[in-house]
Structure 1
Amino acid sequence: MRVLIWHVHGSWATAFVAGDHEYIVPVVPDRGPDGRGRADTWDWPETVREATPSGLAALAAGGIDVVVLQRPHEADLLRRWTGLVAGRDVPAVYVEHNAPTGHAASTRHPMADVDVVEEGRVPIVHVTEFNALMWDTGHARTLVARHGVPDPGHLWTGGRRSVGAVVNEPVRRWRVAGTDVLVEVGRHVPLDVYGMGVGKLAEHLAAPARGPAHGLHDDVPQHAMHRELAASRAYLHPFRWTSLGLSLLEAMALGMPVLALPTTEAPVAVPPEAGLLSARPDDLVATARRWLDDPDEARAHGDAARAHVLEHYSHTAFLRRWDAILTEVTS
């Protein structure tokens, strides 16, 4: 199929565009949010090609088999750029990547009352069962396509006495991302933090003279980040409220033991043998310290984490599920 999809979430899109289809990603001159084009920091196959709004207009007459929407305004962009109405003129699905941002149990989904969604022509596809449970999607048809991550390989060495974390924009997203938890853990153990905007953490983390030394690594390409991250002894996932961070699954696939909060989908993704889930930062610190002193224990939990991800978040199963969804909506 020829699939139109906006480049929104890099890690998820990297898994998605590895399928057996042709993928068209919009690109605009400034490569802003509505047209980022191909990824710079992820490896995408040649089957992903860019199209300008005028290029998409030329494809409108039968050149697009299905549209994958990920933000409410993308349906308006599609109509403005191509004249096509998602769900009427071209088959479409809407992927909801996030947990509700309002009240956890009563937030109405922004697509719930759109005609083509209510009529079942554009199903809402959630990436976790937790999201599907919590969003109020009204009469819209809902499906779940659980995350799947390409296997980066068992790269964990644990040779660096630090705890790794991946958090984009940690200062701006402070409590949602659990940055205060990250900072609290960093008062007691060394951290290596990766992601966009992590340099802003410097003023919040203890200086070496007053506490552990930390490494802040801003916007490292994915393949290089995996190698560097896997050198840390353990992985910290401090998020209070997130759908299910793909960085968590990737760290587990690397063979890293996990420290995380017991929120949203984490209790499903992280079994007890893979690490520790706790709402008490003191417990996270105590376990991190123990693993820093006992690499064999850390290795055992990391091996269990990797085995769990490969079984339950298989990239092959993810692509197979999406093939079934796309085939259904286009038929």
Structure 2
Amino acid sequence: MRVVLWHVHGSWTTAFVQGPHEYLVPVLPGRPPDGRGRARTWDWPASVREVSPAALRRAVDGSDGRGGVDAVVLQRPHEAGLLRAWTGLRAGTDVPAVYLEHDAPGGPAAATRHPLADVDVVARGRVPVVHVTRFNALMWDTGDARTVVIDHGIPDPGHRWTGERERVAAVVNEPVRRWRAAGTDVLLHVAERVPAEVYGMGTDLLAEHLARRGPTAATAAGHLHDLPQAQLHERLAGARAYLHPYRWTSLGLALLEAMALGLPVLALPVTEAYAAVPPDAGVLSADPDELAAVARRWLHDPDEAAARGKAAREHVLARYPLGTFLDRWTRLLHELHDQAARPGG
């Protein structure tokens, strides 16, 4: 199949494009959010092709000689408008489409109406809303829209954990802007009690914030990093344990990747963490002091950390296998394509 999708979530897309299809990813000059094109910090296969709006139109009408487009994966509400403006196609009417929801609802958790809940083609079941966790599917109000849950799939990075650095690592993107939701205050609480290192986009702003808090905090700012994924995995593998401080998130792929590397986990017992982190793989606690105490114990007991990390890796590869993820997506896309091909579809 030929599938159109925007580059929105790099880690998720890295898993998705490992499938057997051709993937058309819009690109615009300067690579803004609506046209990032191929990833430059993830390893994507040659089956992922960058297309300008004009090239996408040629792909859709078949004038590029490759046979048209079979499905569109929407990930943001305005992408249906981009598709129509660039190609003339209406998602769910002229071309099979799904809406992939990456996030938990950001407003009142039990009452947030999904932006696609009242869209006509969604209400008629032509554009299912795909959630990445069962928790998200439970919390979003999607009205009468058809909903599907397709769990994450994790490309196996290999067991790389060495734990030689007596530090707890965390990956938090935009830790200042997303302060409460990302649990940045929890992260700093733990980091004041055990050595820590933080990775992710926007950590430069956290460094500026810490520098204003005095010399002790400024020293911690020296352990903030924004690295490409391949380098990130190598760095994480050397830390003794992984801290997932998020209060409110869908299910951080960085958490699952750290587990696949073999790191033991410390996390808050919220959203989908109960399914991702079994008791033998780490500790879930709403008490930051307990998280810090367990981290301190692991820093002094690398054997326990290694055993927990081994269990974490085994669990994540069994619970989030890449092959199952790709098979479920392929079945859904074929189902929508076949449905559209039927008379009256």
TM range, smaller chain:
over 0.9
Cα deviation code 1:16-48 (max 9, x no counterpart): 011000000000112100000000110000000
210 and 140 in structure 1: CA distance in 2 versus 1, 3 angstrom threshold:
closer
C-alpha contact (below 8 Å) 1:198/1:216 kept by paired residues: no
Counterpart-to-counterpart distance in 2, 1:145 and 1:40: 26
Give % identity.
67
Instruction: Give the drift of 1:214.
Output: 5.8
In structure 1, the partner of 2:210 is 204
Residue 136 of structure 2 aligns to a residue in which SS? Answer: helix
Residue 93 of structure 1 aligns to a residue in which SS? Answer: strand
C-alpha contact (below 8 Å) 1:188/1:211 kept by paired residues: no
Instruction: Give the drift of 1:210.
Output: 7.2
**Residue in structure 1 matching 2:70, options 59, 65, 73:** 65
290 and 64 in structure 1: CA distance in 2 versus 1, 3 angstrom threshold:
same
In structure 1, the partner of 2:162 is 157
Counterpart-to-counterpart distance in 1, 2:57 and 2:219: 55
In structure 2, the partner of 1:30 is 30
Instruction: Give the drift of 1:60.
Output: 2.1
In structure 2, the partner of 1:15 is 15
Residue 175 of structure 1 aligns to a residue in which SS? Answer: helix
173 and 242 in structure 1: CA distance in 2 versus 1, 3 angstrom threshold:
same
Greater mean alpha carbon deviation, residues 54-63 or residues 264-273: 54-63
C-alpha contact (below 8 Å) 1:187/1:212 kept by paired residues: no
Letter in 2 for 1:238: P
Cα deviation code 1:41-77 (max 9, x no counterpart): 1000000010001111112225111000000000000
In the alignment, does 2:118 pair up with 1:106?
no
Structure 1 residues 221-260: aligned runs within 5 Å: 221-260=228-267
Structure 1 residues 299-310: aligned runs within 5 Å: 299-310=306-317
Instruction: Give the drift of 1:218.
Output: 3.4
Instruction: Give the drift of 1:200.
Output: 2.0
Counterpart-to-counterpart distance in 1, 2:218 and 2:106: 35
Residue 137 of structure 1 aligns to a residue in which SS? Answer: coil
In structure 1, the partner of 2:45 is 45
In structure 2, the partner of 1:187 is 192
Structure 1 residues 104-183: aligned runs within 5 Å: 104-183=109-188
In the alignment, does 2:275 pair up with 1:268?
yes
216 and 40 in structure 1: CA distance in 2 versus 1, 3 angstrom threshold:
farther
C-alpha contact (below 8 Å) 2:163/2:241 kept by paired residues: yes
Counterpart-to-counterpart distance in 1, 2:226 and 2:73: 26
C-alpha contact (below 8 Å) 2:210/2:217 kept by paired residues: no
C-alpha contact (below 8 Å) 1:168/1:198 kept by paired residues: yes
In structure 1, the partner of 2:5 is 5
Q: When the two structures are aligned, how many residues end up with a matched partner?
A: 331
Counterpart-to-counterpart distance in 2, 1:54 and 1:209: 54
Residue 210 of structure 2 aligns to a residue in which SS? Answer: coil
In structure 2, the partner of 1:324 is 331
Counterpart-to-counterpart distance in 1, 2:41 and 2:291: 31
Residue 82 of structure 2 aligns to a residue in which SS? Answer: helix
Counterpart-to-counterpart distance in 1, 2:217 and 2:156: 39
C-alpha contact (below 8 Å) 2:210/2:218 kept by paired residues: no
> What stretches of structure 2 of length at least 5 have no aligned partner?
63-67, 339-345
In structure 1, the partner of 2:303 is 296
Letter in 2 for 1:253: A
Letter in 2 for 1:9: H
Residue 229 of structure 1 aligns to a residue in which SS? Answer: helix
Letter in 2 for 1:77: L
Residue 308 of structure 2 aligns to a residue in which SS? Answer: helix
Residue 60 of structure 1 aligns to a residue in which SS? Answer: helix
127 and 210 in structure 1: CA distance in 2 versus 1, 3 angstrom threshold:
closer
107 and 209 in structure 1: CA distance in 2 versus 1, 3 angstrom threshold:
closer
C-alpha contact (below 8 Å) 2:101/2:130 kept by paired residues: yes
Counterpart-to-counterpart distance in 1, 2:218 and 2:292: 14
92 and 210 in structure 1: CA distance in 2 versus 1, 3 angstrom threshold:
closer
Cα deviation code 1:101-149 (max 9, x no counterpart): 0111111000000011000000000000000111000000000000111
User: When you count helix as a share of all residues, which structure comes out higher?
Assistant: 2
Residue 94 of structure 1 aligns to a residue in which SS? Answer: strand
Counterpart-to-counterpart distance in 1, 2:321 and 2:92: 29
